[in-house]
Structure 1
Amino acid sequence: MHFLGELILILLTTVLLGQLFARFNIPAVVGELLSGIVLGPALLNLVKPNDIISLFSQFGVILLMFLAGLESDLDLLKKYFKLSFTVAGIGVVLPVIFMGLASYAFGMKPLEAIFIGIVFAATSVSISVVVLKEAHQLQTRAGTAILGAAVVDDILAVIVLSLFTTFSHEGGKSGITNNFFINLLIEAAYFVVVWIIYKFIAPYFMKIAEKLDVNYSVVIASLILALTMAWAADFVDLSAVVGAFFGGLAIRQTPQYKEVNSSISAIGYSVFIPVFFADIGLSMTFDSFFKDIWFILVMTVLAVVSKFWAGKYSSEMFGFSKNEANIVGSGMVSRGEVALIVAQIGITHHLFPEDIYSSLILVIIITTVLSPFILNHYIKKAN
């Protein structure tokens, strides 16, 4: 029952800090992120990362991305696919180059330096989604470009990670098999299945659920669909959040999506999503801060700049205004749970020195906390 006390503390602190920041016109999600830093090992040490919190957190980010899919305009996503792919492609290449070279300059071996670049290649759009929703910007073309780019970004980052671990001979198994090309075919097959679910299965599945004489049968059916797609994505070595997002898109086209959106929002935002944001902060400690201060500062600047430039200049090439391009760039800055997972893979397979692990986690969390500030700044300039 110790977890119940921790959950009470997390929910209470996320609400209070979220409200405090909202009062100053700062996204409430910043307060929710900081609640983990305040409660965790970094400051008060009242709550420590554990398996139950991690489980709630994983479910929270899946629900968050499912909701993002539910509120997305598929026509806009199709319209800006080329832009999304360009932003994602450049947004994977630049961090690998910038942060790889910087890591090499700080004394890392070439393979270690490349892997550190890969850690920062993927964007965590979950933070940006909340800021965009609060500002009613999720269905604008900038918001759509951010969502599309983040999904493509995750896929490209997984491919880059798979390539690295396959050809470096230091990463161990990455994917279902040890053969990169077979893994790639399996992942391609996953997207074929996603299309079939979207086109044929989801509408009939929801129609059947609606006829059942069971409380919230439509909501339960939507969760079954979304969780299955998230699990399948994870199984083929993609990010579970990609599957959850496509699950939301599949439900979006059905007449039941408003009921689903309302119910899932209540479930997610009342418990699981606040725990997800707090859990990111719980990973933070200041143990290596002063020892590795220059490494942390340089890597933080490069982590922000590489993603921001990729989003900004790619968007301008596709005719976005300067401020719209700034919104896209700032929406790509956050790393969050995806980078944490890749860093965990790296430390498990000894792909970089253990003594910089804490510093890398710190850089990931700093970019995650900075991201809503930067995004909110450019959204306000646009209004």
Structure 2
Amino acid sequence: MPHHTDLIAALAIGLTLAFFGGLLATRLRLPPLVGYLLAGIVVGPFTPGFVADAAIAAQLSEIGVMLLMFGVGLHFSISDLLAVRRIAVPGALLRIVMITVLSTVVSQWWGWTVGQGIILGLALSVASTVVLLRALEERGTLDTSNGKIAVGWLVVEDLVMVLALVMLPALAPLLGSNEGGPLDLGALGIALLLTLGKMILFVAVMMIVGRRLIPWVLARVARIGSRELFTLAVLGTALGIAYAAGALFDVSFALGAFLAGVVASESKFSQQVAEDALPFQDAFAVLFFVSVGMLFNPAILLQAPLLVLAIALIIIVAKTLVAFFTMRVLKASFSTALTVAISLAQIGEFSFILATLGRDLDLLSAQGQNLILAGAIVSIIVNPFLFRLIPIIEAWQQRRVPQTVVQDLTQGGLSGLSQHAVLVGYGRVGRLILQTLQENHVPFVVIESDERRIEELRTLKLLVVYGDAARAEVLSRAGIREAGVVIIATPDGPQSQLILEQVREMNPTVHVTARTHDEHTQQALRNLGANDVLYGEYELGLAMGNYVLAALRSPAVSAAPPSQKQPAS
């Protein structure tokens, strides 16, 4: 093959094999990312057949990293992070520290240096953005409180890893000080201060100049009306700023792309920016995972199976347990702690980036990099199966903990209630419904599984049953057979369907009102027998239309001068 076709070959063969690998993984109910990694293994130097140019693949993967980080910055929301800061911030920081310490200690038994153990620990402590978001979207839990905590936790981890990518080159002499000549602490301190100074200067330039200039440029380009020029402006912003960060400020391309996304998100065209960047981000992210697969030597599975098993146990078991117990200490409910812990029980993009940087800085051996890649593949494959364990574990926990009425104002318990309302879920929507029921003196019982909300309801002296409303015994304690109406206020689509099935089995005639975020779940709930299914955007559109009609009929609008009235249609 002529040398000048290496780039074409890398793109064509890499994307084609990634497509078939992703398709096969999807058929096997695995994340497509597994297929992309396997495609990289196929075209890598450790398997027979075609071998892609590693140098070209590495550069293409660098573009993938830039666009991935641009996307992370574009969706980074300080307000969302602040909303879950009580759990996400201390939880993420504590888990990073504990997993890094655990990995460092374990690696000492293998004869590794402390520097290698720290790189390993950092790589194993951070979860995959792609895997987590896809898993939450597939289960319809991205917009739930559990989903927001998981995403907030992930954002904190990502921010720590971005900082680690910037600091590691300066700290490399200290982490690898057992090799080479004596360590010059003075030179190390100067290098560290210089790196921090450059990073702070770059962040200041982006926050002061960039957050004004970039939205202004995007707005001007948008007014031209050319879709292709706007797309070029988006790509130029992402890649140009990332390159400038490395060339002018000597900081990582990842940090440059991340901050470019953060400042671009402040533009009123941020949604359009995300839509235009997404196809390129997806394509080059695929090439990134393919290039990572090329680095993996499958022989590690035979050469060091016990080390691979140890890495997998740290990712799947240790990370899950640390996250779970940390969240329980921070007063999260059992269900929230379990869901978030399992969501984060895998590793991905940042782990690969850290492993590659560790190799470049001679802080990680080839074996260490292969172990990280093997752990990523194993954890990503196992993660969907862990999600299937959540209902089983919750059911066991609810059998262990008595599902009794927490507060009962009547001497006879719930036996005296009939034609009452059963409210499932005491979130933002549930609170508003509860206020309406109270104002109209409608008797009701709340079913809730979040222990913090249970405590709040207890202080309000309200009837509440703790447990999963999809379970017959929980519904029975809420008096479902005597109820006049059931309100399913939980935003979790699959959970709402399970609840409705159980409600209809126990009381076929009760009136059921439910909520949903999408038309697919709306139709599914109707098919299961819900009387009313309120679809948020649809109801909002109807309400706004009614407000507009009321405004147009008001005397103030009718008396307005003709020039201010809408022309007749």
Give 1:97's aligned amino acid: V
Distance in 2, Cα, partners of 1:232 & 1:122:
27
Summarize the Cα distance change of 1:277–1:202 in structure 2 as closer, same or farther, 3 Å threshold.
same
In angstroms, what is the RMSD of aligned CA positions? 3.7
In the TM superposition, what are the counterparts of 1:168-317 in structure 2 within 5 Å? 168=175, 170=177, 178-196=190-208, 199-212=211-224, 215-231=227-243, 234=246, 239-269=252-282, 271-317=283-329
Shift in Å, 1:141:
0.6
* Aligned residue number for residue 370 of structure 2: 362
Deviation at 1:177, TM superposition (A): 8.4
Please identify which structure carries the higher strand content.
2
Give the SS at the match of 2:103.
helix
Find the aligned partners of 1:306 and 1:130 in 2 and give their Cα distance. Answer: 23
Aligned to 2:69: 65
Q: Bigger shift: 63-72 or 121-130?
A: 121-130
Check the 8 A contact 2:22/2:35 in 1, yes or no: yes
1:314: how far off?
3.5
Higher mean C-alpha displacement, 128-137 vs 46-55: 128-137
The SS at the match of 2:29 is: coil
Please give the residue correspondences for 1:1-383 in structure 2 after superposition, counting only pairs within 5 Å: 1-48=5-52, 50-81=54-85, 83-110=87-114, 112-114=116-118, 116-118=120-122, 120-121=124-125, 123-132=127-136, 135=139, 138=142, 140-158=147-165, 161=168, 164-165=171-172, 167-168=174-175, 170=177, 178-196=190-208, 199-212=211-224, 215-231=227-243, 234=246, 239-269=252-282, 271-347=283-359, 350-351=362-363, 357-377=365-385, 381=390, 383=494
Tell me if the contact between 1:154 and 1:239 (Cα under 8 Å) persists in the aligned partners: no
Q: 1:160 to 1:349 in 2, by over 3 A?
A: closer
Higher relative contact order (CA 8 A, sep 6+): 1
Counterpart-to-counterpart distance in 1, 2:203 and 2:383: 30
Residue 154 (structure 1) shift: 0.6
Cα deviation digits, residues 148-185 of structure 1 (max 9, x gap): 12322214534774675354563899x99843234234
Q: Deviation string for 1:34-91 (max 9, x for gaps)?
A: 2222333444442345122122222123223323443454421232345443233223
Task: Check the 8 A contact 2:170/2:195 in 1, yes or no.
Answer: no
Distance 1:344 1:218, change over 3 A: closer
Q: Does the aligned pair in 2 maintain the 1:303–1:333 contact within 8 Å?
A: yes
**Whole-angstrom CA distance in 2 between matches of 1:233 and 1:332:** 30
Judged with a 3 Å threshold, the aligned counterparts in structure 2 of structure 1 residues 136 and 211 are, in CA distance, closer, same or farther, namely same
Per mean C-alpha deviation after superposition, the further-off stretch among 279-288 and 325-334 is 325-334
Q: Partner amino acid for 2:82?
A: K
TM-score w.r.t. structure 1 length?
Answer: 0.80
CA 1:114–1:263 in structure 2 vs 1: closer, same or farther (change >3 Å)? Answer: closer
Contact residue 9 and residue 52 of structure 2 kept, 8 A:
no
Q: Per-residue displacement from partner, 1:218-261 (whole Å, max 9, x unpaired)?
A: 22222233234434555656653344334333333323223222
The one-letter code sitting in structure 2 at the alignment partner of 1:57 is S
Which protein has the bigger helix share? Answer: 1
- Change in 2 beyond 3 A, CA 1:181/1:289: same
Query: Distance between the aligned counterparts of 2:245 and 2:331, measured in 1?
Result: 33
Query: Residues 184 and 168 from structure 1, CA distance in 2 versus in 1: closer, same or farther, beyond 3 angstroms?
Result: same
Structure 1 8/163 Cα, relative in aligned 2: closer, same or farther at 3 Å? closer
Distance 1:333 1:129, change over 3 A: same
Q: How many residues align?
A: 378
* In structure 2, C-alpha distance between the alignment counterparts of 1:84 and 1:163, rounded to whole Å: 28
2: CA distance between counterparts of 1:81 and 1:193? 27
Moved more, 343-352 or 45-54: 343-352
Shifted more, 141-150 versus 160-169: the winner is 160-169
Q: Please report how far the alpha carbon of residue 333 of structure 1 lies from its aligned counterpart in structure 2 after TM superposition.
A: 4.6
CA contact (8 A) 1:131 1:372 kept: no
Range with bigger deviation, 306-315 or 12-21: 306-315
Larger radius of gyration, structure 1 or 2? 2
What is the CA-CA distance between 1:301 and the residue it aligns to?
1.9
Displacement after TM superposition at 1:114 (Å): 4.6
Q: Give secondary structure in 2 for the equivalent of 1:34.
A: helix
Give the Cα separation in 1 of the matches to 2:281 and 2:266: 21
Give the Cα separation in 2 of the matches to 1:152 and 1:313: 23
Where do 5+ consecutive residues of structure 2 fail to align?
391-491, 495-569
What displacement does 1:284 show?
1.0
How far did residue 272 of structure 1 move? 1.6
Instruction: Work out the CA distance in 2 between the residues paired with 1:45 and 1:178.
Output: 48
Contact 1:120 1:339 in 2 (8 A): yes
Give the deviation of 1:316 after TM superposition. 3.8
Check whether the contact 1:145–1:328 (CA below 8 A) recurs between aligned residues.
no
CA distance in 2, matches of 1:243, 1:136: 32
Unaligned runs of 5+ in 1: none
Distance between the aligned counterparts of 1:237 and 1:82, measured in 2? Answer: 34
% identity of equivalent residues: 20
What residue identity is the alignment partner of 1:274? V
